[in-house]
Amino acid sequence: MNHIFLYGPPGAGKSSVGKALAEKLCLPFIDLDLEIEKSASKTISTIINEQGESAFRDLETAALKRAVSASPRVIALGGGALLHHENRAFAESNGKIVLLTAELNILLERLQSENGKRPLLTGDLREKLSSLLSKRAEHYGSFPLSIHVDYKTPEQVVRQAQIDLGRHHLSAMGGYDVEVEGINELIHYPLKNPIIVTDENVAKHHLEKLRSILQASGFESKPVIVPAGEEYKNLETISRLWKSFLDHGLDRKSIVIALGGGVISDMAGFAASTFMRGMDWVCVPTTLLSMVDASIGGKTGFDLPEGKNLIGSFHAPKLVLADPLLLETLPETELISGIAEVVKHGIISDPELFSFCGHGLGWVKENLEEVVKRAMAVKIKIIEEDPYEKGIRASLNLGHTVGHAVESVSHFQLRHGEAVAIGMVAEAKLSERLAVAGKGLSEAIAESLSVLGLPIQIPKDLPRDELIRAMRVDKKKNAKAIRFALPAEIGRVELVDVTDLENVLED
């Protein structure tokens, strides 16, 4: 985990945002200007007045190097701290820089009460600030990660920063980190006696790379390779994992690394949750579906012949490390399947993400990192509010009640994402019939999915009575009805109890 540097002009809110971001990520926070003042036992104004700006910049460089030498943290920088090439290169090699910027009038409003505290702005504040922004315009414009903070609360800026950085800390289930970052970052996390659980397809592409990363950290990791496919997500495979853990001498202090898609994370997480009454695990997802959905939230489990995920537990990983570069080896059919969950998250809570998906598969491929970060953020926001699915988290089941039935009855000939796509359209049509949604919503959803190459209709050869039976054993049922997450509009879902399942499958 690297440092996070907040940078930008005076008044952009680096300190207030930095404190809030550090709290969200459970990291220490440092205001570099305050550190300089503590070290010098003088205010910055006094330092500049007595020794000049050049001397202050030297102190700034020294303070920056001291701050970076410690554990990862959020660091608020002075508005000119990275003007020196040396400082900028040093910061970029030790973390990520987030530029906070705002319109001149916004900055002036915020700085009015700080008259005299900013030595470089002494005198006519508007004139001095305007001149400073003009001189630094090219410099500030050169930072790729930039957030406009105009009229936004620190909380809103923090959320945007987390999305842009791909960095989250979930507080539920003991707390764990989620990062969109290269798998080399794994070496910065404490590991003991790790064992890698993966499947035969993923092993061909990524197992040796992960083993070499662990080996560089001093670990001779042991792999357990299981057959690939949903049909192997069963008790027999779980038993094999338990036996492998025993054979390799794992104990409660060992750690399981799940390298693969949702099937692998579900099974490895469940095996970890039950072996010796629970051990830690890390998730390294290798599919789009897993990165944006299956790896996050702590749900683990396996299937029974009667239905998907009927046996399971809540057992969150200590870390989810999503590396978009791992998707380069993913077959296009699997990538398209995963996009269904991205569309789902757009429908639930991010209309702009839904609109982006409407640009088609080419756009998604070119913007995979942004897609992963935005879709992941939707799920994280929901599960932080409702970690154990007692309320709003059920909205994530959009498309899944019908989708799981379609997937099961097709004997998994349809991929999970394909089945969910079909389910979203069917449930959107149901939403229109129940007047939860206005006319045209199901058509808009179907059009977006079709552009991405996803199916939108229940195959004619799937018996309707079997689909209804599969829905009845779905884990989201209650005594009298099945609770559906129905789309009300793009960006909002409502939970509705449905008793007439025949109505669900009407075309």
Catalytic residue list = 277, 299, 341, 379, 389, 393, 397, 400, 404, 416
Could you give the CA distance from residue 32 to residue 445 in angstroms, rounded to a whole number? 48
Closest of 190, 186, 210, 188 to residue 198, by C-alpha: 210
What's the order of all strands across the beta sheet hosting 176-180?
A: 167-170, 176-180, 319-322, 280-285, 255-260, 194-199, 222-226
Beta bridge partners of 311: 302
The full length of the chain comes to 507
Neighbour count for residue 500 (Cβ, 10 Å):
10
Closest of 500, 414, 425 to residue 459, by C-alpha: 414
- How does 245-268 read in b/e, with b if 16+ C-beta sit within 10 Å? beeeebeeebbbbbbbbbbbbbbb
Instruction: Give the H/E segment covering residue 247.
Output: helix 235-247
Q: What is the distance of C-alpha 429 from the center of its chain?
A: 30
464: left (phi over 0), alpha (psi -120 to 50) or beta: alpha
Closest of 173, 170, 231 to residue 199, by C-alpha: 231
Tokens standing for 136?
């630094």
| DSSP three-state, residue 51 | helix
Q: What is the distance of C-alpha 484 from the center of its chain?
A: 25
Phi, psi (deg, nearest 5) at residue 488: -95, -35
CA R_g for the chain: 26
Token pair 């988290």 is found at 393
Q: What is the distance of C-alpha 20 from the center of its chain?
A: 18
Closest of 409, 429, 430 to residue 419, by C-alpha: 409
